[in-house]
Chain A
Amino acid sequence: MICFYFQVHQPIRLKRTRSWDRAADTYGHFDMDKNKEIFDRVSDKCYFPTTSLIQDLMDEHKEFKVSFSFSGIWIEQCKLFRPELLDLFKDLCKRKEVELLGETYYHSLSGLYDEQDEFAEQIELHRKTISEVFGRSPEVFRNTELIYDNRLVRTVKEKGFKGILTEGTERILGWRSPNYLYKPFHLDGISVLLKNYKLSDDVAFRFSNWEWGEYPLTADKYVDWLSKAPGDCVNLFMDYETFGEHQWKETGIFEFLKRLPGYALEKNLSFSTPSELVENFEPVGTIDVPLAISWADIERDVSAWLDNEMQQECFNEIRDLKRKVKEKGDDDLIHFWRLLQTSDHFYYMSTKWYEGDQDIHTYFNPYRSPYMGFINYVNALADLKSKLN
């Protein structure tokens, strides 16, 4: 069984904000020109061509299945910048071969807060949005950047999900294979699906790397690997932008995707959505995750967002504003507060990329330095605080 899941997300990036700048409206601190420019670029290079291709592939192969998770702020931007793209997705997502997953509306780190009520509210907001836009209700959850720990999975279970996705790292698996379902530590009624990071990253990161021993990666070679993988399922989780944006059209990524379902079906492999996996397979073991994991960087933990003190201070400050924001009860301010919870803002403050993992961190970073990321963030935060007082 092959299970495809694509993350569809774009942050709403801040604009250069000085300590004395005060925003007049919700998007006042956000660089909507830049956000539109990036959204347009990715739409043209990835979203439109890949989605059309998947449409065609599904027409051709009835057995082909995929799953998506759209962050709420991605949908918000899509409505603003490219409504016709949302129509294309709506069309695709009518098919039962396409599954939509739940997450937090704001692609936030709220799952890591001690009090889980904000996390639950953001899940609810996302569920509402998915139901309004696509008329569907997600049954399986994937948290921001596959962040997972023993505590947040309880909240996810309480919100009625029957499955959750996370990273299949050795830290939690030990000798065990990611190609099976697992159950969380001391919790029943929800299954954990683990990313096969080796086979996922072969496509997401290594596809066009000519220094890689397996370059060039062809669809038949890849399908051969998939067919040899032991276990119940191979979970291929990746950014949707892998197609056409991280891996450019010129690398042959679209030809790869185009041929993949056909070859796989010829080899008697089949496709499954996450909820079908949960229905059809029993967990084979338990995973215990006291310290949060994710799919980011080589550490596969939350250090991309919370490693240094600047990140930790911002994380604590934004979390602790909850009571004040709720007391004020202004919808615009609540939205602004939550937009500042998006994980990407914290990622931009990472100082880890001075030591290693440099390419990936600079690629996604709109700032020259993590200090600029911090300065901009705390200045926007200062405006929020002044509006709350």
Chain B
Amino acid sequence: MKCGMVGWEFPPFRAGGLGVHCLELTRGLLSRGVTIDFYMPKTADRIKSPGEKMRILQVPVLKDVGIYEREKINLKDFFDAVHYYNLRTVDLFSEESEDIDLIHCHDWITVKAGIELKRRSGKPLIFTVHSTEYDRSANFFPMKWVIKIEEEGMENADLIIAVSHRTKKLIHDRYEIPDDKIKVVENGVDFGKFWWHRKRNYSQKNCKVLFLGRVTRQKGPDFFVRVAKRIVEMGTQGCDFLVCGAGEMIEGCKSLAGELGIADRIKFTGEVSEEELISAYYNTDIYLLPALSEPFGITVIEAMATGLPTIISKDTGVGESLKHCLECDYWDIDEMADYIITLLNHRILRETMGRNGAREVMRFTWGRTCDETLRVYQEALS
């Protein structure tokens, strides 16, 4: 089987989880006997193709646009780059990948090319939805024209892969796509990157609460700050807060923390390296993700894998598959504050949740993701 995959990010060139997903997915599919042509934007340093079975084809994007630096690039340039990339991918693909069996696209940024390639070749189109415009905007002025592209992609796709049942429901409800066309394939985590860390110590008195992820409206960092305020306000001692990650809301969150008078209790790291990210999990004691709209939430699995007791909003997709974490509404500041205070006061609760959670998430392997994706390919081809 040969798959023509249109991607956007590929490590080390990435801004979010999509690149990791593509790397793990292509690696897994290769070992399962699938041959892949992987398309991605041209980068300053060329990425070498890993071998004969997988070719990485880099498509020129508009020059001087750093597409992976989301904070620096202006939106118009970004959208132009996406548009140009999709057009040029179609050209190159038609020359290079005539012999493919199916086309696989990821999110709206690549699906335009997929639609056109399907029209030209008649091959089945698989469309993975990692997040929708409704998620990214947290329902706060979603861009109509992006939704239109997503809609077009979903309608043209032979099968759609959703990263959670929550996303499947959203695709069904908001884009009116029939249920049987949408397959749920959950993301995985590379647990190998945690192997060298010591065992977690649950017995220390003081606790640090962690927010880890892009500091963007969708993930609810401002709610995190407000929860911190509530906890400080209750006179709770020995509880500090860490916001790990970069994003457009970081300055806003810093000044909010200042206004609320808790700047001394909450630390913002800004952009961090992969190693610092992993250390952040191990140097903190409670993980809180008050996301407004999170299609899956790989960081939740990572946090739990490191033994962190975890609190997530009901709008976090992966929550549907988890039992050993606490869930509440993202706006329910009192509820989240109480969970944290109770965790802080009870080592047993931290330890029971942490240990059970670490065991529970072990099933989220990329191997499973690849097996299930391959099953979707086979269904599309049959």
List A residues at the B interface (Cβ < 8 Å): 18-20, 308-310, 313, 351, 354, 368-369, 371-372, 374-375, 378-379, 382
Contacts and interface: CB of A to CB of B under 8 A. Distances in A.
Contact of B348 (A18, A20, A310): A310
B360 to A, nearest CB: 8
Contact of A371 (B234, B334, B341, B353): B353
Interface in B329-363: 334-335, 338-339, 341-342, 345-346, 348-349, 351-353, 356
A310 B352 contact: yes
Contacts of A379: 338, 342
Most chain B beta-carbon neighbours within 10 Å: one of A308, A371, A382: A371
Contacts of A19: 234, 338, 341-342, 345
B342 A375 contact: yes
A367 B190 CA distance: 33
Given A20-B234, A351-B356, A354-B323, A371 B338 contact: no
B349 A375 contact: yes
25 contacts: A18-B338, A19-B338, A19-B342, A20-B234, A20-B338, A20-B341, A308-B352, A309-B348, A309-B351, A309-B352, A310-B348, A310-B352, A313-B346, A354-B323, A354-B356, A368-B327, A371-B326, A371-B353, A372-B326, A375-B338, A375-B339, A378-B342, A378-B346, A378-B349, A382-B345
Contacts of A310: 348-349, 352
Q: Is the interface of B mostly helix, strand, loop or mixed?
A: helix
Contacts of B334: 18
A385 to B, nearest CB: 11
B326 A351 contact: no
Contacts of A371: 324, 326, 349, 352-353
A369 B346 contact: no
Nearest to B351: A309
A312 to B, nearest CB: 8
Contacts of A382: 345
A277 to B, nearest CB: 43
A351 B234 CA distance: 30
Interface in B286-343: 323-324, 326-327, 334-335, 338-339, 341-342
Contacts of A308: 352
A244 to B, nearest CB: 31
Nearest to A309: B348
B162 to A, nearest CB: 24
A369 B349 contact: no
A97 to B, nearest CB: 47
Contacts of A372: 326
A19 B341 CA distance: 7
Contacts of B346: 313, 374, 378
Nearest to B326: A371
A351 B352 contact: yes
Contact of A378 (B327, B335, B345): B345
Contacts of B327: 368
Interface string B42-86: 000000000000000000000000000000000000000000000
A187 B335 CA distance: 52
A117 to B, nearest CB: 27
A309 B334 CA distance: 26
**Of A20, A368, A378, which is in contact with the most chain B CB atoms at under 10 Å from its CB?**
A20
A309 B355 CA distance: 12
B271 to A, nearest CB: 34
Contacts of A354: 323-324, 356
A209 B256 CA distance: 58
B285 to A, nearest CB: 16
A41 B342 CA distance: 33
B344 to A, nearest CB: 9
Contacts of B323: 354, 369
A315 to B, nearest CB: 12
B336 to A, nearest CB: 11
Contacts of A351: 352, 356
Contacts of B341: 19-20
Contacts of B335: 18
A18 B234 CA distance: 12
Nearest to A313: B348
Nearest to B349: A374
A309 B326 CA distance: 18
A226 B338 CA distance: 54
Nearest to A353: B323
The interface centre, meaning the residue of A18, A19, A308 with most chain B CB atoms within 10 A of its CB, is: A19
A354 B338 CA distance: 25
Nearest to B335: A18
Contacts of A374: 346, 349
A310 B351 CA distance: 9
A346 to B, nearest CB: 14
A382 B327 CA distance: 22
Nearest to B338: A18
A312 B349 CA distance: 12
Contacts of B234: 19-20
Nearest to A374: B349
B114 to A, nearest CB: 40
Given A19-B342, A382-B345, 13 more contacts: A18-B334, A19-B341, A20-B341, A309-B348, A310-B348, A354-B323, A369-B323, A371-B324, A371-B353, A374-B349, A375-B338, A375-B342, A378-B349
Contacts of A378: 342, 345-346, 349
Nearest to A368: B327
A160 B34 CA distance: 77
A221 B339 CA distance: 53
Nearest to B235: A20
A372 B327 CA distance: 10
B216 to A, nearest CB: 28
Nearest to B337: A18
Nearest to A379: B342
A144 B356 CA distance: 29
A20 B342 CA distance: 10
B227 to A, nearest CB: 13
A340 to B, nearest CB: 16
A371 B353 CA distance: 8
Nearest to B341: A19
